[in-house]
A and B are shown apart, each in its own frame.
Chain A
């Protein structure tokens, strides 16, 4: 009985949470359709979300590509298949690792900042001040961040994948001594434009997940500094988990539109 009650209450809170996100999404779509976009704020957010996340994303991509190439080389070398390392690294980075790692890094860096900023505004009555001046918080805070995220995330994913492939090539060719010609030839043979399209599409959706989870946590923050801290933690944990879960479903669906290995 206790187990059933636990499952029931967990399911209810999950649906309640998803409902909050859906409501925020609908309000944002409504805002996009009916309210002039604050481009100055959106550009400022692009600077914050996109430009200032580059170092984190580039370092993540470079070292993931390097270590992935090295591990793949160690396994493939025993089968004399080391020239295929480039293809494995490129396809994996494009289709899975690039978007997911970028999503997780951006969730940690930007999602936390978004929920902390909006949460602080909430607990210091700055959100009420906005509302009292006839400004909807979704128009002013959520929509510019949404625009910034859907523009920045695919670009960051592209950067992450590019640098990871370059790092993988450096490790395999320069450090392990695999022929560059074969490495590049196999990589190009097994990598197609649809892999890039899948990476960018996933980046786009992960950006949406991060922005709505982070903004929702900020908008409902309560209880002063403790509440803001809790909102920030929840934003990072929830958006990271949602990225990992959504990645599975996106992979299954997007594979229909961008099939692998064809």
Chain B
């Protein structure tokens, strides 16, 4: 791994409508590393992920992507930087007017590729990776939740980004599809050295893909370290989360 971080966040705060979502986040993700961000619903995980590629503007703080400070850049200045980063959205965010093939081909077309044969070959390869060969002409409305996730995954990997941000990649999927998504995240890191940031509630996913884990609680990083250290923690807040204890009784 290279010493310069792929992503560096310092003192990141975000306030929306008087509510403090993020309260001074500091973290670094090294090149080729997979960081898993866990935390309860509403703890600011997805908001933080969006700040990493400038989809949201922080109230204060710094975000550096591949060594470049992105806070303060205009939308047009951010566009070329985002082409090296892929993001898989929680709701998949597939373009519902496009077929599976058109969705996956979209980043290639936008990158300037025009040769239909080359685009078709790359799309076919990406769909094969996520085991969706034969579904090219379907519209997103005709796909199951798991298939949508996999199309979203194919759309991300087809552009061969340096870094991929995953927002709940296994949410709502059956255990087998979840497992295949986890293996794919790990495979991309091992084979291509892709840096990944994964936001999830799924502890199995976290355990499978994480090089390190950040536990977000009430807008701050409550824990930052290895997955094994998280699981071994005696902190009650962490234990409640990893074991899924609400404290409620029947």
* Tally of A-B Cβ pairs under 8 angstroms: 53
B241 interfacial contact with A, CB 8 Å: no
In the bound complex, how far is the Cα of B90 from the Cα of A134, in angstroms? Answer: 19
Smallest CB–CB gap between B126 and chain A, Å? Answer: 14
Tell me whether chain B's interface is mostly helix, strand or loop, or mixed: mixed
The 8 Å CB contact of B55, one of A121, A132, A135, A136, is: A132
For B89, the closest partner residue in chain A by CB is A125
Bound complex: CA of A136 vs CA of B89, how far in Å? 18
Question: What's the least CB distance linking A220 to chain B, in Å?
Answer: 15
Task: Indicate with 1 or 0, residue by residue over A117-149, a CB within 8 angstroms of chain B CB atoms.
Answer: 000110011101101111110000000000000
Q: In the complex, which residue of chain B has the Cβ closest to the Cβ of A132?
A: B87
Shortest Cβ distance from A94 into chain B, in angstroms? 37
Contacts of B83 in A (CB 8 A): 133-134
How far apart are the CA atoms of A128 and B53 in the complex, in Å? 10
With both chains docked as a complex, state the minimum distance between the C-beta of B162 and any C-beta of chain A, in angstroms. Answer: 13
Known contacts A133-B82, A133-B159, A134-B82; A128/B106 CB under 8 A: no
Q: Which residues of A contact B91 (CB under 8 A)?
A: 124-125
Residues in A neighbouring B75, C-beta threshold 8 A: 131, 136
Q: Is the CB of A134 within 8 A of B93?
A: no
Cβ of B80: which chain A residues have Cβ within 8 Å of it?
134
CA distance A131 to B89 in the complex (A): 12
Contacts of B237 in A (CB 8 A): none
CA distance A126 to B97 in the complex (A): 11
| Total number of B residues with any Cβ neighbor in A under 8 Å | 25
A136 and B159 in contact, given A124-B91, A126-B95, A129-B87 (Cβ under 8 angstroms): no
When distances are taken between beta carbons in the complex, the residues of chain A under 8 Å from B95 are 121, 126, 129
Q: B243 within 8 Å of A by Cβ?
A: no
Query: CB-nearest residue of chain B relative to A35?
Result: B76
Q: Which residues of the partner chain B approach A131 to less than 8 Å between Cβ atoms?
A: 55, 75, 78-79, 82
Who on chain A is nearest to B103 by CB?
A129
**C-alpha gap A111/B96 in the complex (Å):** 20
Cα-based distance from A135 to B93 in the complex (angstroms): 14
Hey, which chain B residues are within 8 Å of A120, CB to CB?
96
Q: Contact between B110 and A132 (Cβ–Cβ < 8 Å)? A: no
Interface membership of B50, Cβ < 8 A: yes
CB <8 Å contact, B110 and A129: no
Bound: A120/B102 CA distance, A: 19
CB neighbors of A among B80-119 (8 A)? 80-83, 85-87, 89-91, 93-96, 106-107, 110
Contacts of A136 in B (CB 8 A): 75-76, 79
Which chain A positions have C-beta within 8 A of B53? 132
Q: Give the distance to chain A from B35, nearest Cβ to Cβ, in Å.
A: 18
| Smallest Cβ-Cβ distance to B86: which chain A residue | A132
Contact A125 to B93, CB < 8 A, known contacts A135-B79, A136-B76: yes
* Listed residue (B90, B93, B95) with the most chain A CB atoms within 10 angstroms of its CB: B93
Give 15 pairs: A residue, B residue, CB < 8 Å, sorted on A: A120-B96, A124-B91, A125-B89, A125-B90, A126-B96, A128-B55, A131-B75, A131-B79, A131-B82, A132-B86, A132-B89, A134-B79, A134-B80, A134-B83, A134-B110
Known: A126-B93, A128-B89, A135-B110. 11 other contacts (CB 8 A): A124-B93, A125-B90, A128-B93, A129-B95, A131-B75, A131-B82, A133-B107, A133-B110, A133-B159, A134-B79, A134-B110
